[in-house]
């Protein structure tokens, strides 16, 4: 269901629709399955298609950050709307997660 591409250890996933506590559960499961591949070191979450987001997404990103940091990897987010930035900044997320243009 998730649209993604893998290239040289970098996994880019395009999130879309409304991200809340309920909708995030299947996304988390699918993401973790993709991250089971030990070759993946860097996760890029493309947020362009996200039409709604609450604080549930903070937990999702921090959880994946912890998993990847354990294997020396990283998480970044890209194409975030100002509203998405506002919620991520509230949690200080950009101190651990890079925001790409």
Report the interface residues with another protein, using CB under 8 A: 18, 20-23, 25, 28, 52-56, 58-60, 62-63, 83, 86-87, 90-91
Query: Which residue's CB is nearer to another protein, number 56 or number 74?
Result: 56
Tokens found for residue 59: 């937990």
Query: Which residue's CB is nearer to another protein, number 11 or number 53?
Result: 53
Instruction: Tell me if 68 sits within 8 A of 43, measured CB to CB.
Output: yes
Residue 14 CB, shortest distance to another protein, in Å, is 20
Residue 88 CB, shortest distance to another protein, in Å, is 10
Note the maximum CA span of the chain.
33
Instruction: Tell me if 43 sits within 8 A of 14, measured CB to CB.
Output: no
């Amino acid at each position: 269901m998730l649209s993604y591409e893998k290239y040289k250890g970098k996994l880019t996933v395009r999130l879309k629709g409304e991200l809340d506590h309920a909708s995030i559960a299947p996304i988390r499961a699918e993401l973790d399955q993709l991250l089971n591949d030990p070759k993946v070191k860097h996760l890029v979450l493309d947020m362009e298609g996200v039409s709604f987001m609450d604080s549930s997404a903070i937990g999702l990103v921090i959880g994946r950050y912890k998993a990847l940091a354990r294997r020396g990897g990283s998480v970044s987010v890209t194409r975030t709307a100002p509203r998405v930035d506002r919620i991520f900044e509230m949690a200080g997320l950009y101190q651990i997660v890079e925001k790409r243009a």
